[in-house]
Amino acid sequence: MIDEDCPIEGVREYFGNDHFATEACGCLVDEASHGHAVCEFDVAEGHLNAQGNVMGGAIFTLCDFALAIACNIGEHPTVSVESSIHYMSGCRGTRLIATCDADKSGRSLGFYTVDVVDDLGTPVARMTATCFRRAEG
């Protein structure tokens, strides 16, 4: 369990082990607390599809990374069991920012929404997810 009082540096170190998100995609943690996270990445050539737009998988990875942080801080180990993403607009800026907040954080299930905007404020995507908390012991 990641303690609710863990400083942001500790959260970044712990979730730095999410190698695909942090190394392949370049995701960074900006804010992290119980039921809340803000993560981002600077759009790079490796994020683009053949049409020159940010690939949906890169956007989903950013959402999933923010979700992992928001649903695990101060909770038993939590995994996503369902997620749905809606892509609303192409990225017009140079950075994508995902904000994840708990809609309801229960004992065994959590429900979360992740909103993604670019650095110009353009709404890019929204993901909703259901997560399951694994009881320790």
Q: Kindly state whether residue 3 falls inside one of the protein's structural domains.
A: no
Q: Write down the pLDDT at residue 135.
A: 76
Q: Write down the pLDDT at residue 1.
A: 75
Domain containing residue 28:
8-133
Distance of alpha carbon 71 from alpha carbon 48, whole angstroms? 28
Q: Kindly state whether residue 128 falls inside one of the protein's structural domains.
A: yes
Q: Token pair for residue 108?
A: 């065994």
Task: Name, in order, each residue with C-beta under 8 angstroms of 19's C-beta and a sequence gap of 6 or more.
Answer: none
Q: Write down the pLDDT at residue 57.
A: 97
Provide the domain count of the chain.
1
Q: Kindly state whether residue 1 falls inside one of the protein's structural domains.
A: no
Pairing of strands 123-133, 109-118: antiparallel
Surface-to-core class of residue 48, CB atoms within 10 Å of its CB (0-12 exposed, 13-18 middle, 19+ buried): middle
Question: Of 134, 4, 129, 5, whose CA–CA distance to 65 is shortest?
Answer: 129
Q: Kindly state whether residue 96 falls inside one of the protein's structural domains.
A: yes
Q: HEC states along 28-61?
A: EEEEEECCEEEEEEECCHHHECCCCCECHHHHHH
Q: Kindly state whether residue 2 falls inside one of the protein's structural domains.
A: no
Q: Write down the pLDDT at residue 134.
A: 85
CATH (domain of 64) = 3.10.129.10
- For the whole model, what pTM was predicted? 0.96
In the chain (137 residues long), the average pLDDT of successive 10-residue segments reads: 91 96 97 97 97 97 98 95 97 97 95 98 98 81
Question: From the CA atom positions of the chain, what is the Rg in Å?
Answer: 14
